[in-house]
Structures are given as C-alpha cells and as structure tokens.
Amino acid sequence: MWTSTTALVQRLLAAKRELRLPQEIAKLQQVACLILDDLGYVQQDRDEMEVLFTLLAERYEQRSVLITTNLVFSAWDRIFKDPMTTLAAVDRVVHHSVILDLGGVESFRATQAQQEQNPIHPCNRHPTWG
C-alpha cells in the first residue's frame, strides 16, 4: 500500500479522535508492505508524532515499511520532537533494514520539468545537424 505520510497520519488522527485507532492500525497490519512517501513533510504536532510512532512501533519486526524522506536520521527530531521518541523511531526503522541513500542523484521531477520547459528539437540532438 502506497500513501503519502501526511495523508496516513491524518487518517490515523481521525481514527484516534473517533476512539478507533487500534482498529485502524489493525487494518493497516493486514498490508504486507506499507510505503510511506515524504516522511519529512509531516507536521510537528505532538498528536501526529504519536500516531506515526505508534504505527511504526506496531509494524516493527512484523510487517514491512518502506519510507521515502528528504531528511537524514539526525533531522528526524523535526518529526518526533522528543529525543527519546526520535531515537526509538529511528532504532525501529533501521533495525533489519536496507537503506538506500540517493543523495547526489538529480531529482526525476526537476529533470522532467526542465525538459518540458526547454524541449530539445530533433535537429539539435546531433552535433552535425544544423
């Protein structure tokens, strides 16, 4: 299951307000691999941090989680606020994990946008054409 982290956190917050967070997390436990996109864009609200940590803690060593983020682990305190919670979240995420650091790789979206703004004319592709 792919979802933006922000959308999933909002879904979990709604479940928490309706006193059905355990049921919502149980539903998500049925998903073999949960893909959380753009973790770095989660707001810094304590309730958001708590539901996200609860989800990660429940999935730890039980189900797969794939996370995309523009934040290095040392910057995760922006998400989890409390140093102990940050450490616990990072610890659960990195244990038994494969980490792919794509730093230095040009953004696919930026490249595509640049190509759309400056399309290459077929005649300009070959140096002897002119």
CATH number (domain holding residue 51): 3.40.50.300
Tell me the longest C-alpha to C-alpha distance in the chain.
69
Low-confidence ranges of the chain (pLDDT < 50): 129-130
Q: Judge whether 130 lies within some domain.
A: no
Question: With the C-alpha atoms ordered 30, 64, 86, 73, is the resulting torsion angle positive or negative?
Answer: negative
Q: Judge whether 111 lies within some domain.
A: no
Task: State pLDDT tens for residues 22-57.
Answer: 999 999 999 999 999 999 877 668 899 999 999 999
Taking the whole predicted model, whether its pTM rises above 0.85 is answered as no
Give the total number of structural domains in the chain.
1
Give, for 125, the enclosing helix (H) or strand (E).
none
Scanning the structure block, which residue is given the tokens 């990072």? 90
Q: Judge whether 78 lies within some domain.
A: yes
Q: Judge whether 117 lies within some domain.
A: no
Q: Judge whether 10 lies within some domain.
A: yes
For the sheet containing 33-37, what is the strand order? 2-4, 33-37, 64-67
Domain assignment of residue 52, given as a range: 2-105
To the nearest whole percent, how much of the chain has pLDDT over 90?
57
Q: Judge whether 13 lies within some domain.
A: yes
